[in-house]
Structure 1
Amino acid sequence: MRSDEEAERFVEKADLTDYDFSQMKPVQFEFEKKAATLNMRIPESLLAAVKRKALRKGVPFTRYVRMLIERDVSRP
């Protein structure tokens, strides 16, 4: 679905009893337009470790860093 409104219309009309939502996870910022940039200096060894971890998770390292930031700021 391409908008909140489209999702809301679907939910209003659909019988959701047939869906298994047990594996769903909340999504925060990943679908927002990326208009801001972050430029920071870190040790090469830390960047290499981040890239290895992202590779193991199967995501680009910049997305992995965004995921870490999103997870942290989402906590109370």
Structure 2
Amino acid sequence: MGGKNRAMPSLHSDNAAEEFVATSDLTQYDLSGFKPMRFEIEPKGAALNMRLPASLLDAVKARAKAKGIPYTRYVRMLLETDVAQRP
């Protein structure tokens, strides 16, 4: 075949996606538009409660919305990224 030139079909359920992956040659599809997705598997056993200026919280919510994720996940992502960096 001619390489990665086929568009991915819209898959509207887990079952449809599972069947598609099981029966398709994914090397024939253009995956360049895909974005990495993080799955949260570790259970959350602790909570953080903090007070912020409303303007900062609004800015955080706007950034999270632009990324298409809930703002609490965005804040956790920022914390994880910072902690993972070497000092």
TM range (shorter): 0.5 to 0.7
Higher helix share: 1
CA offset digits 1:4-61 (Å, max 9, x no partner): xxxxxxxxxxxxxxxxxxxxx7x7xx42101100000010000000000000000000
RMSD: 2.5
TM-score, with length taken from structure 2: 0.54
Mapping for residues 1-76 of structure 1, pairs under 5 Å: 30-76=40-86
- One-letter code of the match for 1:47? L
Structure with bigger gyration radius:
2
Q: How far apart, CA to CA, are the structure 2 residues paired with 1:64 and 1:73?
A: 14
Q: How far apart, CA to CA, are the structure 2 residues paired with 1:67 and 1:58?
A: 13
TM-score, with length taken from structure 1: 0.61
Identical amino acids, percent of aligned pairs: 59
Structure 2: any 5+ residue segments left out of the alignment? 1-35
Structure 1: any 5+ residue segments left out of the alignment? 1-24
Q: How far apart, CA to CA, are the structure 2 residues paired with 1:73 and 1:31?
A: 19
Number of aligned residue pairs: give it: 54
